Amino acid sequence: MNIYEEYESSVLSEEKKKSKKTMQILAIAIVALFIMSMFMIYYIAYVRNKQLKVFVDDARIKITSDMIIFDEENQEVYVSLNDIADKIGYAMNNGEYKNPYSEDITKCYLNNKYETASYIVDSNEIYKAIIPGTKQSEVDYEYFTIDKPVFSKDNKLYTTLEGLEKGCNLSCSYEVSKNTVKIYTLDYLTQSISTKLAGTENLIKQDDLNTYKNKKAILYDRVVVESADGKFGVNSLKNETVIGQKYKSITFMEELQEFMVETEDGLFGIITNQGETKIQPQYASIKQIDKDKGFYLVSKDTNLGAGKERYGIVNKNDRVVVYTEYEKIGIDKSAFPADGIDNPYVLYGKCIPVKKSNKWGLLDINGNVILPIEYDNLGCKTNSSQSSQASSLLLVPEYEAVVVEKDKQYGLYNSSGRELIPVPANVTDMYGILTAGSKQYYLTYLGNTMDIINYLSNTLGIKPINESSDNEQ
């Protein structure tokens, strides 16, 4: 081989080495780029996964930075009621529904077409009420306990997902691995169920108050169904029969998760969520009046015509507490709006107002007479005060007392029937006046105005119940 050939061979060998090295570098670069690309993909996915996402009815919604708050210590998710309300079909208002013209920012209530739910800061209790066609003073409230109290931050009220569920009839969940909150509304859930369970489609399409009540059963694994011949029953969400399809109507009562059923004869009873008969369907009407005591107001037809039913009370074991012999049980709380009466059927949780032969009296919670049924009225609806703040009066809470009227004179008896101010005793009216957030109570005796609390405490020596254990109840 000559010098030229040796030189050419050497050059070619060197070029091959360079080419091989270049290929190696390129391969390394490609691998590095691939690794970096995969890292970026995973990093972006990680960042996106860490970013909180909120879905309502499977549609992602825009959220503000303080809409959701995490309690890391207790692994709890809190939602701002102010921010979520309009996204789930509710309007939010400051204050309590019971006092709708208050602008107290430590309280709020959320309304939809049929119902309201009220939340109070530092409280584990919320209350709900069906509202269409009902006067404010005649609303019946249902109470629910939630897992954690409501709290306030930066003038916003927050509750847990469980608190949001119970108040606004939702299904809520938080998926930790995906950092995702999912919320499903009642309408969305019922539409989903209607495609799975026979007999529900027509019910769900209806838009009335009773349908709304019955939709809420879905949140408790139950659904009201209708047979081809128009009879109603209840199934589980697995389509298993819980209550047979044989009733003229069925209404779900959420507070106790029970069903009020109506027979073809127009008689009402109560069946539990498990399909067990709690109260036999033998009454012209039935209504829960005290959850804690398990009391139901019932009536029977006397065959004397409309409005002539007689009322009584049965308990959750279908045992009679008060026989169905009274013209009325409970007072009309709309006549005493300033008294803040929650339960007009069991005053102070101890005594039951009853009316018979057009006279009023009081029974205890066992049905025994504690105040004879001989009074013309309970409460004083008119007064002689010139103050625009004066209001009708039924209750004096400091003494657990009830105002009574007989022969146009007034007296005062406590929740055990103890006489505090006898009647007749020339007392011509009693009333309350709200001043600077405090309520004072007055009576008119022989034309003179007297403070009821001062008279009882200082003149008669009867101390308010929170000041003396000697005050008999």
The Cα 313–Cα 287 span in angstroms is 9
Nearest one of 140, 142, 189 to 169, comparing CA atoms: 189
User: For strand 268-272 and strand 258-262, is the pairing parallel, antiparallel, or unpaired?
Assistant: antiparallel
pLDDT tens, 23-79? 777 777 777 777 776 665 554 444 444 589 999 999 999 998 899 998 877 778 999
Instruction: Specify whether the CB–CB gap between 61 and 55 falls below 8 A.
Output: yes
CB 419 within 8 A of CB 394: no
- Tell me which amino acid residue 440 is: Q
Task: Say whether 242 sits in a helix, a strand or coil.
Answer: strand
> Each residue of 355-407: pLDDT tens digit?
999 999 999 999 999 999 999 999 999 888 888 889 999 999 999 999 999 99
User: Considering only CA atoms, which of 167, 175, 174 is closest in space to residue 147?
Assistant: 167
Q: pLDDT tens-digit profile of 237-255?
A: 999 999 999 999 999 999 9
As a whole number of angstroms, the distance between CA 230 and CA 176 comes to 45
Question: How far apart, in whole angstroms, are the C-alpha atoms of residue 143 and residue 141?
Answer: 7
AA letter at 38? M
> How many whole angstroms separate alpha carbon 253 and alpha carbon 348?
24
Question: Which range has the worst mean pLDDT, 105-119, 149-163, 297-311, 388-402?
Answer: 297-311
What separation, in Å, do the N-terminal and C-terminal C-alpha atoms of the chain show?
129
Structure tokens at 355: 């009316």
**Global pTM?**
0.80
CA 203 from centre of chain: 23
Separation between Cα atoms, residue 441 and residue 422, nearest integer Å: 17
- Which of 168, 160, 184 lies closest to 110 in space, CA to CA? 168
Contact criterion met (CB below 8 Å) for 322 and 312: yes
Q: How far apart are CA 365 and CA 343, in angstroms?
A: 13
Q: How far is the C-alpha of 70 from the C-alpha of 161, rounded, in Å?
A: 11
| Class (C level, CATH) for 55-184 | alpha beta
* Residue 43, both tokens: 């990093």
Q: What percent of the chain has pLDDT over 70?
A: 88
| Summary mean pLDDT of the chain | 88
Written as six digits, the tokens of 19 are 């080419």
Which of the 8 DSSP states describes residue 340? -
Closest CA to 184 of 87, 76, 251, 75: 87
Six token digits for residue 99: 């006092």
pLDDT for the residue 169:
96
How far apart are alpha carbons 220 and 293 in whole angstroms? 23
- Residue 399 contacts residue 462 (beta carbons within 8 Å): yes
pLDDT digits (tens, 9 = 90+) for 131-164: 876 565 567 888 999 999 999 999 999 999 999 9
pLDDT at 463 over 50: yes
Is the pLDDT assigned to residue 91 strictly greater than 60? yes
Residue 143 has a CB neighbour count (10 Å cut-off) of 13
Average pLDDT over residues 434-445: 86
